[in-house]
Amino acid sequence: MQQIIHYLSYWDSALAIVLVFGGLIFFHELGHFIAFRLFGVGVITFSVGMGPRAWGVKRGKTEYRISWFPIGGYVAGVGEYSKDVETLGFTQEESIASRPAWQRLLIAFAGPFMNLVIAWLIYWGMIASMGMSVTLPQVGGIIKGSAAEQAGMLPGDMITEIDGVAIERWAQVPEIVGASGGRQLSVQAERDGSLMNFSIVPRRSERVNIFGETETAWLLGVQASGRVRYEEKGFSESSWLGLRQTWNMIDLTLTSIKKMLFGSVPADSVGGPILIAQMLGEQARAGFAPLMLLAALISVNLGLLNLLPIPVLDGGTILFCLIEMVIRRPVPEKVQEWSMKAGAALLIALMVFATFNDIMRWFK
């Protein structure tokens, strides 16, 4: 029986991977589809899934289909991949080639934008239904030989004040300690219902940040327990908090990309599809909420990565449109063609590199 449950847990993980990946790519393509419709561009096919057609129905001039490979999907607009328009039952006016550059730019932008909207809706829904999670200022671990250990702090202590400032969330602790400049701090903590007072002098020490970089900062030598509380929020406030969380994830992702480009983040930290699938599987086993929060983060990453100015990505199309708007004529087809080939080669190389990192990480 335990063996059956063990295998079923992996089926749950596989289903989560398909639904999250497939769902996020589907909504990306839905963004393009909506933009096509808004600007009167004909749509040949809207497919849920990739590969050969499993089932489909035609409405008007558009075929809506389900394809056999259940990850992702695509939308094919008239004139996107072929100049053959009339034989498909469309007019030249319905071709994307007949649209001005600014409309083609917005059509390309609509897919990544939809991914950001989906992330916002996930955060909004999670906060509205569960409340805003706040990490408690509880000590989970004490670094050996640190100032906190020498002062007598213990795991489980709940920090309530630092230098007279009330502490309600863990984020306040590194912020106040980091700004102390190394001066002595008066720390109050609750332990087993009693208040304890400590005089601690922070030490300049090394730590590893979320990007894997080693940095120096003033530290007490304590680690968060990870316990959280949930603050109930109203529907409209949850909308604003969800938007703020989406922006925080956008900022985090852009900072990560910048650090990778400039080499401050090690190249072997780059992850690919295997790492993402592994993370989705772990979060699926952890529960619905962790899975949805990871889905929101992946959606932000998918949207921003598609906006990179690399031909074959939406960002490459946007770049060509911007150039066309400046020079008042389309970028030569030969230039676009060779750029697409170079962009495809770059993406394949990056995918191979990221997958190699995943495999090496797996063996480690």
pLDDT, one tens digit per residue, over 190-200 is 999 999 999 99
Report yes or no: 268 and 95 within 8 Å, Cβ to Cβ. Answer: no
Confidence at residue 276, expressed as pLDDT on a 0 to 100 scale:
75
Convert the pLDDT of each residue in 320-336 to its tens digit. Answer: 999 999 999 999 989 99
In a domain, 32, yes or no: no
The residue from 211, 230, 249 where one domain ends is: 230
Task: Say if residue 175 is in the same domain as residue 255.
Answer: no
User: For residues 29 and 64, what is the distance between their CA atoms, to the nearest angstrom?
Assistant: 13
Helix (H), strand (E), coil (C) string for 239-264: HHHHHHHHHHHHHHHHHHHHHHHCCC
Convert the pLDDT of each residue in 9-23 to its tens digit. Answer: 455 667 777 888 888
Which residues, including other chains, have CB under 8 Å from residue 332's CB and lie 6 or more apart?
none
- The β-bridge partners of 66 are 48, 55
Which residues, including other chains, have CB under 8 Å from residue 85's CB and lie 6 or more apart?
78, 79, 91, 92, 94, 95
Query: Does pLDDT of 2 surpass 70?
Result: no
pLDDT band per the 50, 70, 90 thresholds, residue 42: very high
Q: Tokens in use for 306?
A: 């598609």
Task: Say if residue 126 is in the same domain as residue 264.
Answer: yes
User: For residues 46 and 245, what is the distance between their CA atoms, to the nearest angstrom?
Assistant: 31
Task: Say if residue 318 is in the same domain as residue 182.
Answer: no
Cα-based angle 64, 66, 68 (whole degrees, multiple of 5):
150
User: For residues 85 and 89, what is the distance between their CA atoms, to the nearest angstrom?
Assistant: 7
State what percent of residues in the chain have pLDDT above 70: 93
For helices 2-38 and 101-130, angle between their N-to-C axes, nearest 10 degrees: 140
Report yes or no: 225 and 139 within 8 Å, Cβ to Cβ. Answer: yes
In a domain, 277, yes or no: yes
Domain of residue 225 covers 134-230
Sheet with 185-191: list strands edge to edge: 165-166, 158-162, 185-191, 194-200
The residue from 163, 196, 230 where one domain ends is: 230
CA neighbor of 291 nearest in space, from 99, 24, 5: 24
Query: Does pLDDT of 54 surpass 50?
Result: yes
Query: Does pLDDT of 82 surpass 90?
Result: no
Report yes or no: 219 and 146 within 8 Å, Cβ to Cβ. Answer: yes
Cα-based angle 268, 273, 275 (whole degrees, multiple of 5):
55
Query: Does pLDDT of 210 surpass 90?
Result: no
Task: Say if residue 123 is in the same domain as residue 260.
Answer: yes
Which comes out higher in pLDDT, residue 124 or 348?
Answer: 124
- The β-bridge partners of 121 are none
Query: Which is catalytic among the residues 29, 168, 190, 231?
Result: 29
Q: pTM (2 decimals)?
A: 0.85
User: For residues 160 and 138, what is the distance between their CA atoms, to the nearest angstrom?
Assistant: 9
State what percent of residues in the chain have pLDDT above 90: 57
Total domains, the chain:
2
Asked if 175 is an active-site residue, the reply is: no
Report yes or no: 26 and 114 within 8 Å, Cβ to Cβ. Answer: no
Confidence at residue 166, expressed as pLDDT on a 0 to 100 scale:
94
Minimum mean pLDDT range among 121-135, 183-197, 264-278:
264-278
Task: Say if residue 279 is in the same domain as residue 138.
Answer: no
- Provide the 10 A C-beta neighbour count for residue 175: 12
- Provide the 10 A C-beta neighbour count for residue 230: 11
Q: Tokens in use for 112?
A: 């990544």
Which comes out higher in pLDDT, residue 174 or 363?
Answer: 174
In a domain, 218, yes or no: yes
Task: Say if residue 127 is in the same domain as residue 197.
Answer: no
Q: Tokens in use for 123?
A: 């955060």
User: For residues 132 and 118, what is the distance between their CA atoms, to the nearest angstrom?
Assistant: 18
Task: Say if residue 139 is in the same domain as residue 209.
Answer: yes
Confidence at residue 147, expressed as pLDDT on a 0 to 100 scale:
92
Confidence at residue 131, expressed as pLDDT on a 0 to 100 scale:
92
The residue from 230, 262, 284 where one domain ends is: 230
Q: Average of pLDDT values for 146-163?
A: 93
